[in-house]
Amino acid sequence: MVFSSNAFLFLFLPLFLAIYYVTPNRYRLRNWVVLLGSYAFYAWWRVDFLFLFIGVTVWNYLIGLMIARHGARTTGAGRWLALGVTVDLLMLGYFKYANFGVASFNALLTGAGFEPFVLSHVILPIGISFYVFESISYIMDVNRGDVEATRHPVDFATFLALFPHLIAGPVFRYKDLAEQFESRDHSFDKFGEGATRFMQGFVKKVFIADSIAPMANQAFALADPTTGDAWLGAIAYTMQLYFDFSGYSDMAIGLGLMMGFRFMENFNQPYISQSITEFWRRWHISLSSWLRDYLYVPLGGNRHGVFNTYRNLFLTMLLGGLWHGANWTFVIWGAWHGAILSVERALGVKVGSAGRFAFGRWALTLLFVVLGWVIFRADNVDVAFRMYAAMFSVGDLHLSEVFAGDIDRLQIATLIAALAIVAICGIRQRLPAQRFAWPAPARATAAIGLLVPLFLLALLKLSAQSYSPFLYFQF
């Protein structure tokens, strides 16, 4: 089940919210509703993987208790932490990388003239990357003494299973939500804020991302793209991915508000960044901060000399790329960003400030980002380098007849609208806030007068189109 589906919008969500709000707000009973509702949401896809999910939950809950019993940062706690993280990573590694590892190993075997190794195809459980990372952060925080191990198994299970973020993030930390499991506010204003945010994300996903998607897909499927084809396809995917993923995050944050939770923001106008360092403070913020705190810092961060700092930056992004998927394209994408981050650190590049804008730095950063998205999107390395060859061949800037015949005016208009939205929002953030002060009544009027009709039109579009999952479901 996905948020942008009739089953979710007209069956699951109304039924869940009705049960949630008729349940008394005491004894953590609403946490039970959230937990059981989230399990039902997950089981809609496959019931058998729900048991794996529950097993991961029980394992890490018990590991947290054992760490707490020994005391934060003690030798005994360290052993339990190592055991917990090892089991988590082995489980993630099997389901996510077994097929990739066997395929890579078989390529070496067949190249050497040996018979390939046979392994039944391993199905990837949805959301596994997110709930494993969240489990690891929990037991690491308990060991660090940043949070007390919870004695409420339902609270911990609800933390991992919260259906708004279960499939594609944001990546949560228990310490940021612990108090909200004990008590949280519910009000018409908060529910209305959440509904508005959900509609905003829905429009971004269904109206913009889904309309641009065919253009990007067709460009990357071309056997011999022109320079114009390749650049238009790369730009289309750059916009599609942002509006798809940020739209999901908006919907997740909105659903959380409707249940009284307030989640962290996951995007902050990333395409106005003036360095890759700044980009990673604005793009998928929950993941980039997770990688910093639970991978870069444990590797040593910048505490052990210049060389080790660059190595740690590179390894963090390399592993972050691999986290996105079992494909050499993601490894290369992670290495690309890791190398640029290391160079920026060596050159002393500063993160851009809200009041200063250097056009050259912004243009170069956006170019690096777009080039990175090409390898990120490509099905394999060959497709990526075919796109790169076309982009930098300085050949035919016109669209090929095949590509031009497959795209329509609506797709072009939507892409232009997406670029305009990104530009306007970026300018609005870069310039002084007082220039764009908008009274609350005006915002409410705009939400009712513009957002609601767009949301209703998006519902009609959704009902007329085929199934369209979020891009980050595959991770």
- What pLDDT digit, counting tens, does each position of 24-45 carry? 988 789 999 999 999 999 998 8
pLDDT tens by residue, 157-168: 999 999 998 887
Q: What percent of the chain has pLDDT over 70?
A: 93
Structure tokens at 271: 């395409």
pLDDT of residue 442 exceeding 80: no
Q: Looking at the predicted structure, is the pLDDT value of residue 67 above 90? A: yes
Q: Which of 110-124, 184-198, 323-337, 400-414 has the lowest mean pLDDT?
A: 110-124
On whether the CB atoms of residues 268 and 211 are closer than 8 A, the answer is no
Q: pLDDT per residue over 453-463, tens digit each?
A: 888 888 888 87
Residue numbers annotated as active site: 324
- Mean pLDDT, the chain, rounded, equals 89
pLDDT number for residue 58: 97
Give residue 45's pLDDT: 83
CA atoms within 13 A on the CB side of 232: 24
**Among 113-122, 237-246, 301-310, 465-474, the range of highest mean pLDDT:** 237-246
Read off the pLDDT band of 438 (50, 70, 90). Answer: low
Predicted local distance difference test score (pLDDT) of residue 329: 95
User: Residue 265: what pLDDT?
Assistant: 93
Whether 295 contacts 54, CB under 8 Å: no
Query: Does the pLDDT value for residue 336 go beyond 90?
Result: yes
The answer to whether residues 42 and 243 touch, using CB atoms and an 8 Å cutoff, is no
Q: What is the pLDDT of residue 468?
A: 62
The string over 389-420, giving b where at least 16 C-beta atoms fall within 10 Å of a residue's C-beta and e elsewhere, is ebbeeeeeeebbeebeebbeeebeebbeebee
Burial class (CB in 10 A: 0-12, 13-18, 19+), 360: exposed
Residue 472 has pLDDT above 60, yes or no: no
Tell me the Cα Rg of the chain.
Answer: 23
Share of the chain above pLDDT 90, in %: 68
- Residues 29 and 23: beta-carbon distance below 8 Å: yes
CA distance 122 to 96: 8
pLDDT of residue 469: 62
- Which of the two residues, 67 and 457, has the higher pLDDT score? 67
Return the minimum-mean-pLDDT range out of 223-237, 296-310, 443-457.
Answer: 443-457
Question: pLDDT value at position 352?
Answer: 59
Residue 471 has pLDDT above 70, yes or no: no
Residue of 45, 61, 59 whose CA lies nearest to 124: 45
Pick from 260, 259, 251, 267: nearest CA to 199: 251
- DSSP output for 244-296: HHHHHHHHHHHHHHHTT--PPP--S-GGG-SSHHHHTTTSSHHHHHHHIIIII
**Reported confidence tier of residue 439, pLDDT bands at 50, 70, 90:** low
pLDDT recorded at residue 473: 55
Determine the average pLDDT of the residues in 184-212: 93
Q: Which pLDDT score is estimated for 269?
A: 94
Task: Look at residue 434 and tell me whether its pLDDT is greater than 60.
Answer: no
Three-state SS for 24? coil
Q: Which two tokens stand for residue 32?
A: 């039970």
> Which pLDDT value is given to residue 226?
94
